Amino acid sequence: MAEALSPHLPCLLWLVPLLPLLAGGITAFMPDRMGRQASWLALGALFVSCGIALAALACMLVPVHEPVSHAVFTPITWFSFGDVALKVGLVLDPLSAAMGAMVSFVAFWIFLYSTGYMKSEARFGRFFCFLSLFSGAMLLVVYSNSLLLLFMAWELVGLASYLLIGFYFEKPSAAAAAQKAFITTRVGDMAFFLGMIWLYGQTHTLLFFNDGKGLLETGALGSLAGVTTVGGLTVSAAAALLLLVGAMGKSGQVPLHTWLPDAMEGPTPVSALIHAATMVAAGVFLVARTHPIFMNSGATGLPLTATAWIGGITALYAACVALGQNDIKRILAYSTVSQLGFMMVALGTGGVAAAMFHLIAHAFFKALLFLSAGSVIHGCHDEQDIRRMGGLAKAMPKTFITYAVGMMALAGFPFVFSGFWSKEAVLHSAETWPGGHGPFLLAATAALLTAFYMTRQALLVFFGKPRSPGVSHPHESPPVILVPLFVLAAGAVLLALIGTPMWPWFEEWLKGETAVFDGSALTHPEALKLIGLSLVLVTAGVTASWLVYRHPSGDSRAPDPLEGKLGGAWKFLGDGMRFDATYEKFIIAPLAVLAGVVDGIERQLFVPLMALAEGLIKMIGRWTGTTDEKGLNDGFNHMCSSLQGGAESASASQSGRPQAYLRAIGLGASVLLILYFWLIA
Amino acid sequence: MRVPALIALVMAASASCGWAAEAPNRSLLAPEALPRLPQRLVELGLEALKAPDWLVAIGSFAAAAGTVVAVFLTAFALLSLIERKTLARIQNRIGPNRAGPFGLLQPVADGIKMLTKEDIVPTKSEWFLHLLAPVMIVIPSILALGVIPYGREWVPVDLPLGLLFFFAAGTMTELAVFIAGWASGSKFPMLGAMRAISQMVSYELPLIISATSVVMLSGTLSLSGIVEAQAGFHLGFIPAWYILTPWGFVAGVIFLIAGNAESNRCPFDLPEGESEIVAGHMTEYSGFKYALFFMGEYLGLFAISGLGITLFLGGWQPPLPGLGFVPSWIWFFGKLAAVIFFFLWVRGTFPRVRIDQLMRFAWLCLIPVSLLTLPVAAIWQYSGKGALGWLLCSAILLVPFIILTVRFNRRMATNNRRYTFAE
Amino acid sequence: MTPLPLLLTLSALLFTLGLFAVLTRRNAILILVGIELMLNAANINFIAFWRYGPPDVDLTGPLSVVFSIAIAAAEAAVGLAIILMVFRHTRSTDLNRLDSLHG
Amino acid sequence: MIPLLILSPLILLAALGAVWKARPVHAALLLALTLALVAVFYLTVGAEFVGLVQFMVYVGGVAILIVFALLITRPGDEAAEVARRPRSLALGLSCVAPVLGLLLYAFSKGLPVDVAGETNPPLPVKAVGMELFGNAVPAVLAVAVLLTAVLIGAALFARDPGKKPEPPIG
């Protein structure tokens, strides 16, 4: 089937992103009452694009002819002005094939889940329109061969996230969250844009692979490395840093992460799809895609060290904050931030394959956790505060099972779950990083805390007794919600197979070689050390959490046990280390003041200026008017009247009175006669 | 008293203008030259006093004028009486017979009455013109009388242009009538004056035209010449007067009618028609001025009839061959009496004529016929004045006469009036 | 000393008086009076020259005077007729008011 | 010579009156007087025929005509005439003076030098008649035609068309 498809791959691959976009467009014009048909359309479109993506993955897996690192499809000139032509195109290489397959597969099951979850929603069709728009854009980001096309898709994804976070726009908090998400990601996008322009300025091309002339090919990389700019940085380093800031914005790294926890205002499937599996991964994907530019300035170059450290800090910070959260979805959100930190650490320390494997695994089990949380919320009649839940295991056994699988994968229970292996790979690459052990230590403590807060959540939600009436008799979710949960759970488990050291198939595939099964890999001393470390971290986290939360208090208003021990620190963690407050004070307030100042200047300076200008113009107008009136009109009138006067006085002589004429004749005659006598006689 | 002095002065002025006047000196007492007696006496007296001859000339003129004035003033007085007597007889009544035997002193009575009446001058009138008007009416009549040849021996002033002088003087009366009418200030005299003037102007034309036919035949403008032209007798006993020629008869009749109208008498006495405009242009006059008006009128009558006699009735020519011994002026004054009687007779019988009929009669009847007499006279002259002349002339003259009279009878008939009684 | 210069001055003065009347009188009829005066001034000249001027056999002086008198009479008649007609039309003989031809 | 000396001032005085008198009728009558005096002048100079014709035509005809016209049009604004005196006097004199000067100058230069006294005999009427109907017959005919035309024309002009006259202008 793969060989049959391969010759048509170029146009088929275009279909993958375009079909969901098309579906989104059509559903946008459908009236709300045709919600059902809209969801079927979206599902159908995604199903087809998922099929094509898997086929493309298959093609990459079974190389038809000699192993080709990437299949570049002829770029289309999208825009040409003068002699410059901007080209866009798609590329199919193991990285994009894997990401494309993962994104479409997860998205498909989340679509299915949301048809059930969102059934009671009035604007059903609109929801699916945004979802399909998002998935189309995400696929475009994945398959794009041009940094420009990637940036455009990047913006579309940002827009989709804004629309979906603000789906319940009548809630002010949702609207504010959407706006906050959009603006913070825009800060990142601005850096991304500057980096892109700089790259273009330097290499005059934005295509990644353009048979030798592409951005990521040696020629361009060489030219980038050669030029040193401000601060001794080479162009590639500076551009890489800018791209890193773009990635941080989108993936919610420390300074720009505040929007992610608030993004939970959106419906749960949105959180699952966007803020767990795909969009947040786009940042990591970007860094992975443009990794050669990062590597251009050396393994311990500034871009990579920066990435590693930022990843580590984010991981530890998010894990600590997750401890103090009481909302079921906010805990998962902070856990996502921390896992992204892990991926950044992997990227920074050179483990691109580890980062990608962790990304894909994380996508599966985090989506699983979110959807099960959704099912719990659905069951508890939209109750989100874990302090008011308890003892749901008995009431929602299926949901509990899937949640348990996800929790264990995330926490990194040994051997069975993909989470364990992907985290282990990350730690391995961090540990082997020549640039120092800082990120490794940060990542390790983060792993410990991850295990702790996931167990806390599990204990508070599923064990003990229900602590509020709403939660007293929860009902199990319908199958349309449960089936996707089971599928994702299976995925979280099966993925472990491709990432274990014994058969590092995924890592080799990414590099273009074929993996060979090596049972002895476990026995390497270094590998054993790492596995041992992971085991120790996980068990420590779980047992500590179990000890603290073994006997949850019956009263929902009782303070959290940890709160008793940590006291003020607990509150501090709860507020997300008051990042929002600090931003508010240090960035937004000065901006407001600046705005005030500018407004003042405007009022004091420009308004009088405008008044002055207006006065000037009026004066000129009046002046010209008067000159026109007085000078021209009156002058003309005067001339006419004097002419008329002259004419009248002249005509007065023709008075019609005969005697006057006679007198004239008399005088004339006498004068003539006098002349006659005087001259002649 | 001022008025007679004024008359004398004007007479003297005209005389003193040095008109050539030879004074034939014949025997004083010859009957023929009786009328010249006073003039001759004055001349002799002055020559006896050896006055310079211009003084002598003036004296003789004065005497001549005096005689004319005297004669005709007495005639005027008689005429006023005779007129009333004849009118009375026509109306089958006696007339004035109280003042003196057979009313002979009636004129004296009238004169005294006129003199004693108060002389009223209206305030709005122009006093000088008001005074001048009656004088200007009398003067032309007297001037005219001065020119007419009364006898073979006696023509107060014999002018070569006698006829022209007569008519020139005659035109002054119109101006005088206007002044009389206008100067008295009020409307009736003005209306009367305008009517009188239009009438006199209209009738002056036929008067002059008929006279020209006589001038054409007699070849001279001087009246004595015209009288001599009428001397002699046709067929032994028919005097060669112009009246006895076809054109002469017609011209004569027209002359008399026009003369009648000229002096505002009877059928044409519209100006002072008592019933309509009180006394016409004489309403504002009273006392002696009013008398002067009457004097002017009667003297005018005498002048016109005198001229008529000289032109058509052969002046002082005796009617029959054998009567040469009778002084010529007797014939003149006899004819004068006859013509005057004719006028009185006309006055007594004819009804007054309306102003438009009067004007139409003058312009549509008299003037055309009088114009016709000129060629007819020429024809008469060159057709040998015999039977042939009679035949032709009478034929030519009868045709328009018949046409006019037939039409006039129809036209002149007074259309029946519709009297609308006041509601 | 012939009276000719006297007569000439008389006629000149009479002519000027006539002209003066024509130029100043506002009443159309009185203008005719002026015209009559001017004509008579001319006639006086004719007769003066006929009487005291060079001998002239065929009596041109008096003849032209007779003709001039005839024509003057005709002129006066037509003039007055016209004036009457104008008066009937405009109820006024004041020349300054009869200026409907003015420019 | 003496009658002339008496007569010319009279004529001038009467003419002055005719020209200057405020009341129109008085002016017309004074005109009649001037015309009569001129006729007298003709008589004194010896041209009787012309004098009498002048007297008949002018005094009898034209003067009456003028006076009649004055009666019909009844001009009454003596006051305005008087009011206008100074201005009209100045205006008139300014136009007339040069003409008078010219005439006198012309006469003073144009006088025939060798004029003795009364050169021509008094006017014989017969000579006038012969002359009139001898050499000047065409002129007489022309004047005749003119006079008839005037007679008819004047009658037509003065005929009242029977409709009410329009209101006065102004």
For residue B281, tell me if it sits in a domain: yes
Q: Read off the tokens for A356.
A: 């990608």
Q: Which of residues 107-136 of D touch A (CB under 8 A)?
A: 109
For residue C11, tell me if it sits in a domain: no
- Site from A653, A657, A662 to mutate, C interface, most C CB atoms within 10 angstroms: A657
* Whether D113 contacts chain C with CB within 8 A: no
B27-60 exposure pattern, b = at least 16 Cβ within 10 A, e = fewer: eeeeebbbbbebbbebbeebeeeeeeeeebbbbb
**Cα dist from A178 to A159, A172, B134, B404, whole Å:** 10, 10, 137, 135
CA distance C98 to chain A (A): 7
Q: Closest Cα partner for A182 from A262, A287, A284, A278? A: A262
Residues 6+ apart with CB under 8 A from B15: B58, B61, B62, B65
**Are residues D98 and A677, on separate chains, in Cβ contact within 8 Å?**
no
Range of the domain at C32: 26-95
Residues B184 and B274 in one domain: yes
Contacts of B194 in chain D (CB under 8 A): 68, 71
Contacts of A657 in chain C (CB under 8 A): 95-96, 99, 102
Q: What is the reported pLDDT for A514?
A: 64
CA distance C103 to chain D (A): 17
For residue C13, tell me if it sits in a domain: no
For residue B107, tell me if it sits in a domain: no
* Whether D103 contacts chain A with CB within 8 A: no
Exposed/middle/buried for D163, CB within 10 Å: 0-12, 13-18, 19+? Answer: exposed
Q: Which of residues 121-150 of D touch C (CB under 8 A)?
A: 123, 127-128, 131-132, 135-136, 139, 143, 146-147, 150
Q: Residue B89 pLDDT more than 80?
A: yes
Which tens digit of pLDDT belongs to each residue from B112-130? 888 888 888 888 888 888 8
Q: Residue B402 pLDDT more than 60?
A: yes
- Backbone angles phi and psi of A32, in degrees to 5: -55, -35
- Say what the ipTM of the complex is: 0.62
**Are residues B190 and D67, on separate chains, in Cβ contact within 8 Å?**
no
pLDDT bin (cut points 50, 70, 90) of residue A3 is: low
Residues 6+ apart with CB under 8 A from A161: A134, A181, A182, A185, A263, A274, A275, A279
Q: Residue B397 pLDDT more than 50?
A: yes
The yes-or-no reply on B/C contact (3 CB pairs or more, < 8 Å) is no
Q: Read off the tokens for A265.
A: 């205002």
Chains within contact range of chain C (3+ C-beta pairs < 8 Å): A, D
CA distance A661 to chain D (A): 11
- Site from C26, C96, C98, C100 to mutate, A interface, most A CB atoms within 10 angstroms: C96
CA distance D133 to chain C (A): 11
Rounded CA separation D163/D161 (Å): 6
For residue C86, tell me if it sits in a domain: yes
For residue C102, tell me if it sits in a domain: no
What torsion, rounded to 10 degrees, do the Cα atoms C14, C20, C25, C28 define? Answer: 60
**A25-39, A148-162, B54-68, range with the lowest pLDDT:** A25-39
**Are residues A677 and D91, on separate chains, in Cβ contact within 8 Å?**
no
**Are residues B179 and D29, on separate chains, in Cβ contact within 8 Å?**
yes
Q: Read off the tokens for A4.
A: 């049959």
Q: Residue D112 pLDDT more than 70?
A: no
Which tens digit of pLDDT belongs to each residue from A566-614? 777 777 777 777 777 888 888 888 888 888 888 888 888 888 888 889 9
- Whichever domain contains C89, its CATH number is 1.10.287.3510
The pLDDT of A305-322, averaged and rounded, is 88
* Whether D76 contacts chain B with CB within 8 A: no
Residues B141 and B278 in one domain: yes
The total number of structural domains that make up chain B: 2
Rounded CA separation D146/D60 (Å): 20
Across the interface, of A656, A663, A666, the residue whose CB is closest to C102 is: A656
The pLDDT of A248-259, averaged and rounded, is 85
CA distance A652 to chain C (A): 8
For residue A54, the tally of other CB atoms under 10 A from its CB is 16
Rounded CA separation A109/B189 (Å): 143
Give the chain C residue nearest D155 (alpha carbons): C81
Range of the domain at B365: 117-408
Asked if residue A244 lies in contact with residue A193, where contact means CB atoms within 8 angstroms, the answer is: no
Please give the residue that has the higher pLDDT: either A74 or B196: B196
For residue B144, tell me if it sits in a domain: yes
The yes-or-no reply on A/C contact (3 CB pairs or more, < 8 Å) is yes
Q: What is the reported pLDDT for B19?
A: 39
Task: Catalogue all structural domains in chain D, each as residue range(s) with its CATH number.
Answer: 1-78 (1.20.120.1200)
Which tens digit of pLDDT belongs to each residue from A619-677? 998 888 888 888 888 888 888 888 888 888 887 777 777 777 888 888 888 888 888 87
CA distance D104 to chain A (A): 12
Q: Which of residues 5-64 of D touch C (CB under 8 A)?
A: 5, 8, 11-12, 15-16, 18-19, 24, 27-28, 31, 34-35, 38, 41-42, 45-47, 49-50, 53-54, 57-58, 61-62
For residue B296, tell me if it sits in a domain: yes
For residue B328, tell me if it sits in a domain: yes
Q: What is the reported pLDDT for B307?
A: 94
For residue B325, tell me if it sits in a domain: yes
* Whether A664 contacts chain C with CB within 8 A: no
For residue C16, tell me if it sits in a domain: no
Helix (H) / strand (E) containing B114: helix B106-116
Across the interface, of D55, D63, D71, the residue whose CB is closest to B168 is: D55
Q: Residue B275 pLDDT more than 60?
A: no
pLDDT bin (cut points 50, 70, 90) of residue B408 is: low
Q: What is the reported pLDDT for B14?
A: 44
Work out the mean pLDDT of chain D and round it to a whole number.
82
* Whether D151 contacts chain C with CB within 8 A: yes
Rounded CA separation D23/A288 (Å): 134
Q: What is the reported pLDDT for A6?
A: 63
Please give the residue that has the higher pLDDT: either C36 or B191: C36
Give the chain D residue nearest C100 (alpha carbons): D169
> What proportion of chain A, given as a percentage, has pLDDT over 70?
92
The total number of structural domains that make up chain C: 1
For residue C50, tell me if it sits in a domain: yes
CA distance C31 to chain A (A): 9
For residue B123, the tally of other CB atoms under 10 A from its CB is 6
* Whether C31 contacts chain D with CB within 8 A: no
The pLDDT of A45-72, averaged and rounded, is 74
CA distance B175 to chain D (A): 6
CA distance B98 to chain D (A): 43
**Are residues B178 and D61, on separate chains, in Cβ contact within 8 Å?**
no
> What proportion of chain D, given as a percentage, has pLDDT over 90?
24
Q: What is the reported pLDDT for C15?
A: 92
Residues B44 and B133 in one domain: no
Q: What is the reported pLDDT for C103?
A: 59
Work out the mean pLDDT of chain A and round it to a whole number.
82
Asked if residue C41 lies in contact with residue D36, where contact means CB atoms within 8 angstroms, the answer is: no
Beta strands (DSSP E) in B175-265 are 233-234, 238-239
Collapsing DSSP to helix, strand or coil, A414 comes out as coil
For residue C36, tell me if it sits in a domain: yes
**Cα dist from A603 to A256, A589, D108, whole Å:** 34, 21, 104
For residue C12, tell me if it sits in a domain: no
Please give the residue that has the higher pLDDT: either A525 or A194: A194
For residue B301, tell me if it sits in a domain: yes
For residue B79, tell me if it sits in a domain: no
Q: What is the reported pLDDT for B22?
A: 39
Residues B11 and B146 in one domain: no
Collapsing DSSP to helix, strand or coil, A146 comes out as strand
